[in-house]
Amino acid sequence: MASNAQPNIVFLLADQQKATSLGLYGNPDVRTPALEALAERGVVFENYFTPHPFCLPSRCIAMTGRYAHAIGVHGNGYTLPHYEVTLAERLGETGYQTGAIGHFHGGKSGGGRGFQFQHDIGKGVLSERNRVRRELVENAPRRVQHMVAEVPVPPDSDLNGAMTTIGMNFVEACTSERPFFLHIAYIDPHPPFFVAEPYFSQYDPAEITMPPVEAEGAGKPAAHEQTARDGGTWDADEDELRKALAVYYGMVNHLDDQVARLVDFLELRGLLDNTVIIYSSDHGDYAGEHRMFGKSCTLYDCLVRIPAIIAGPDHLVPQGVRLAEITDSTNLAPTVLDWAGLPAPETMHGRSFAPAWAGKEQLRNAAFAEVGAFPAAMVNDAKRGNNLPFGPPASGRQTEISTMVRTPEWKLVYTPGRELNELYNLRDDPWELQNCYPAPDKAGVVSELTQQLMDWHLGFH
């Protein structure tokens, strides 16, 4: 495999990890040696976004290079249409050996389409490890969005460690005559915040830096506060919230050690020099911002700005670069095809990073995202819509579709039918604490950004 002209591709995807959970993105408390080592051998994308902050849509976007409204996947209950072609299918047709492990939303959803080998979270040892976690939830006296627990399993044998082991076994089984595409879809740091020691106690809750929260008169849609109340975080003790954030960071470090295991494995077998490693996340987590944990139908940066680190041989990936330009996950599939020497279809909305790295082409100057379109029963029925601690309460879901345009300076979130939309000046208010949409002097900015949203939604199908 090491001598093959086409590189091996390893795509590692965390679940619900926001960019600012890493020191690479300015976090003052968290250090991740394995990811920092990858960054030295590649590119850190400082402003990389998912166009949808829920699991299945974001994964389908990454695998097709197409936006959610174009492929019709608006939430986790949807199905990727049969006519959409995935990256795994395209690579498999050219001889790549393809394997997916973990929480990749396989089966009827279509998240695993095209992978020749699949071991999803409902099979074998992964199912058993997941059962241990679910029992912790069922036995808990209180289920809230920021629920934490110590997993009574050694870290490398726990759910994410088992995924790494299965991934290494897949590589061992691949023939050396053809390249491989390995996708490991980890479950951490998705809530509930469960991890084994030493990660459960790795961070002192009293010492971590808590994000700022909104003051009175922040001008937010009423649903945001209701979600925080229903999720149990609005009135929670600060000690509870600090512990939840500390465990979230411990889960991030557990993933970093899994990355180290995999990199060491590839190096030991002489595969690293011809392997491109991509590390990212499907979407983010509030992780204490806006008095919330988990996710819901909002488009704050903590949910849509995600880590993206690509490392590989220097003829494919620039070394030690930080790219400040706005990019999104539609760019991923065409970039991988570029490495494999394959043309990206015109139907893909993203473009390869390679020309931008070479200074020949500029990518977009704005990020776009959307969320919503939940069935009315999930929104109006508190019992059916409540998925704590795994997902948001009913108040965190909506039938409408909110859309976002995000430039380096401004963010507009527009929701048809909602009286109060959102506008944030990101240079003055990077935490998105004060909604300035109603301000009369911002009407020109709103008009310009609304036009960009319309052009995006109408132009990408």
CA separation for the pair 324, 326 (Å, rounded) = 6
pLDDT tops 80 at residue 240? yes
CA dihedral 186, 73, 284, 308 (to 10 degrees): 70
pLDDT at 354 over 90: no
pLDDT at 3: 41
Q: What is the mean pLDDT of the chain?
A: 95
Query: Do residues 438 and 219 lie in contact, with contact meaning Cβ atoms separated by under 8 Å?
Result: yes
Q: Which of 235, 151, 229 is nearest to 196 (CA)?
A: 151
CA atoms within 13 A on the CB side of 172: 9
Q: Is the pTM of this model over 0.85?
A: yes
Q: Provide the residue ranges of all domains of the chain, joining segments of one domain with +.
A: 8-364
| Per-residue pLDDT band at 2 (split at 50, 70, 90) | very low
Read off the pLDDT band of 356 (50, 70, 90): confident
Are 312 and 276 spatial neighbours (Cβ–Cβ below 8 Å)?
yes
pLDDT of residue 1: 36
Q: pLDDT confidence of 363, banded at 50, 70, 90? A: confident
The strand order across the sheet containing 42-49 reads 117-120, 97-102, 180-185, 8-14, 275-281, 308-311, 42-49, 321-328
Least confident of 19-23, 85-89, 321-325, 330-334: 321-325
**What is the β-pairing status of strands 275-281 and 308-311?**
antiparallel
Which pLDDT belongs to residue 351? 93
Q: Residue 344: pLDDT above 60?
A: yes
Q: What is the pLDDT of residue 357?
A: 82
Determine the distance from the C-alpha atom of residue 134 to the mean position of all C-alpha atoms in its chain, rounded to a whole number. 22
Q: Output the pLDDT for position 408.
A: 96
Residue 21: phi and psi, rounded to 5, are -85, 0
Nearest CA to 189 out of 19, 426, 427 is that of 19
Residue 259 CB partners (closer than 8 Å, separation 6+): 12, 34, 35, 38, 279
Q: Inter-axis angle of helices 332-339 and 55-64, to 10 degrees?
A: 40
Amino acid letter for position 96:
Y
Per-residue three-class SS string for the chain: CCCCCCCEEEEEEECCCCHHHCHHHCCCCCCCHHHHHHHHCEEEEEEEECCCCCHHHHHHHHHHCCCHHHHCCCCCCCCCCCCCCCHHHHHHHCCCEEEEEECCCCHHHCCCCCCCEEEECCCHHHHHHHHHHHHHHHCCCCCCCCCEEECCCCHHHCHHHHHHHHHHHHHHHCCCCCCEEEEEECCCCCCCEEECCCHHHCCCCCCCCCCCCCCCCCCCCHHHHHHHHHCCCCCCCHHHHHHHHHHHHHHHHHHHHHHHHHHHHHHHCCCHHHEEEEEEECCCCCCCHHHCCCCCCCCCHHHHECCEEEECCCCCCCCCEEEEEEEEHHHHHHHHHHHCCCCCCCCCCCCCCHHHHCCCCCCCCCEEEEEECCCHHHHHCHHHHCCCCCCCCHHHCCCCEEEEEECCCEEEEECCCCCCCEEEECCCCCCCCCCCCCCHHHHHHHHHHHHHHHHHHHHCC
Tens of pLDDT, residue by residue over 409-461, are 999 999 988 778 999 999 999 999 999 999 999 999 999 999 999 999 888 87
Mean pLDDT over 31-54 rounds to: 97
Residue 87 has pLDDT above 50, yes or no: yes
Over residues 138-191, the pLDDT tens digits come to 999 889 999 999 999 999 999 999 999 999 999 999 999 999 999 999 999 999
Residue 119 corresponds to which tokens in the numbers above?
């071991």
- Stretch 122-139: mean pLDDT, rounded? 95
CATH dotted code for 8-364? 3.40.720.10
Q: How confident is the model at residue 285 (pLDDT cuts 50, 70, 90)?
A: very high
Lowest mean per-residue pLDDT among 342-351, 353-362, 373-382, 410-419? 353-362
The candidate with the shortest Cα–Cα distance to 225, out of 296, 174, 303, is: 296
Average pLDDT over residues 398-402: 95
Q: Is the pLDDT of residue 92 over 70?
A: yes
pLDDT score recorded for residue 178: 97
- Taking the C-alpha atoms of residue 285 and residue 249, their distance in angstroms, rounded to an integer, is 12
Residue 62's pLDDT band, with cuts at 50, 70 and 90, is very high
Going by their DSSP bridges, the two strands 117-120 and 97-102 should be labelled as parallel
Q: Which residues have CB under 8 Å from 314's CB, separation 6+? A: none
Whole-angstrom Cα distance, residue 264 to residue 229?
Answer: 44
pLDDT digits (tens, 9 = 90+) for 3-37: 458 999 999 999 999 999 999 999 999 999 999 99
32, 23 Cβ separation under 8 angstroms = yes
Give the whole-number percent of the chain exceeding pLDDT 70: 99
Which residue is associated with the tokens 């979270």? 121
Picking from 40-44, 192-196, 230-234, 356-360, which range would have the lowest pLDDT averaged per residue?
A: 356-360
Of 263, 258, 281, 277, nearest in space to 158 by CA: 258
Q: What is the pLDDT of residue 459?
A: 85
What does the pLDDT read at residue 358?
75
Q: Above 90 in pLDDT, residue 45?
A: yes
Is the dihedral angle over the CA atoms 194, 247, 119, 176 positive or is it negative? negative
The pLDDT value recorded for residue 101 is 98
Supply the pLDDT for residue 364. Answer: 78
Residues in the chain: 461
